[in-house]
Amino acid sequence: MTDQEIRAALDRHWAASDASDFEAEHRIYREDAVLEYPQSGERIRGRRNIQITRAKQASKKHFAVRRVSGSGDLWVTEYILTYDGKPSYTVSIMEFSGGKVARETQYFADPFEASAWRAQWVERMDT
């Protein structure tokens, strides 16, 4: 696949994720894909298992993609994943093989208040 084709597949994936379209969301994965959540120490093997764990997740989700970058077989997406109104800043690292995701690692971070002492050196970002 070309970089343009992978980027289009990623755009479809994140749009389907936001729409809770679990069939379309998981078309990007190989059958033997592996998903890792290092912060919880979990590894999910197989596209079907990845899909089941996401479909059974009861929270209302919203995905707001901030940036997608990559080329070849390595792509990174930065996004805000909001569960039941609580945002989590998220990074997804996807490794492709044969035009599909073979491995994905996701990292999650809660927002925090900016420190007042450094305000003179920083600018506020819209999130």
Q: Which domains does the chain have, with CATH numbers?
A: 3-111 (3.10.450.50)
With contact defined as beta carbons under 8 Å apart, do 25 and 54 qualify?
yes
Q: What does the pLDDT read at residue 52?
A: 97
State residue 39 phi and psi, 5-degree precision: -70, -30
Interatomic CA distance for residues 73 and 61, integer angstroms: 27
Q: Quickly tell me which residue has 């035009």 as its tokens.
A: 99
With contact defined as beta carbons under 8 Å apart, do 28 and 13 qualify?
yes
Could you read off the pLDDT tens digit of each residue along the chain, which spans 127 residues? 899 999 999 999 999 999 999 999 999 999 999 999 999 999 999 999 999 999 998 888 999 999 999 999 999 999 999 989 999 999 999 999 999 999 999 999 988 888 999 999 999 887 6
Q: The tokens of 97 are what?
A: 């093989």
